[in-house]
């Protein structure tokens, strides 16, 4: 099982097609995935918010970032707009936010997840 809290110093992790199952499907704890792309303006706006919340919720929620341009998983999941934040618990998607949202909206989703 993937364990961010013992192996990483950063607050967010890089999620990709190769490690998706290990991080999402094999993890019983809460996971949030930020699906983004480097050219996406709203992604650049929400990125610092995700990073700040990742630090705040470190040890409670695994927070990862998946580059939609470099991975097919976002298309497989039916994502048509970025940024999209996907929330998982016990390997199942339980919630989603599409488009850049303020920190308090994302924080509410985190609090429901833990």
Point out the residues that are catalytic: 40, 43
Listed in sequence order, the residues at least 6 apart from 65 whose beta carbon sits closer than 8 Å to its beta carbon are 12, 13, 14, 15, 33, 34, 36, 50
Strands 62-67 and 31-36: parallel
Measure the N-to-C terminal CA separation of the chain; round to a whole number of Å.
Answer: 19
């Amino acid at each position: 099982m993937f364990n961010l809290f013992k192996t990483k110093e950063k607050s967010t992790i890089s999620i990709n097609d190769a490690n998706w199952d290990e991080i999402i499907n094999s993890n019983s704890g809460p996971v949030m995935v930020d699906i983004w792309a480097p050219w996406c303006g709203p992604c650049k706006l929400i990125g610092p918010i995700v990073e700040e919340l990742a630090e705040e919720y470190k040890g409670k929620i695994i927070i990862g970032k998946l580059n939609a341009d470099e991975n097919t998983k976002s298309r497989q999941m039916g994502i048509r707009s970025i940024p999209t934040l996907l929330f998982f618990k016990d390997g199942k998607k339980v919630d989603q936010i599409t488009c850049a949202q303020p920190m308090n909206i994302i924080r509410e989703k985190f609090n429901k997840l833990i």
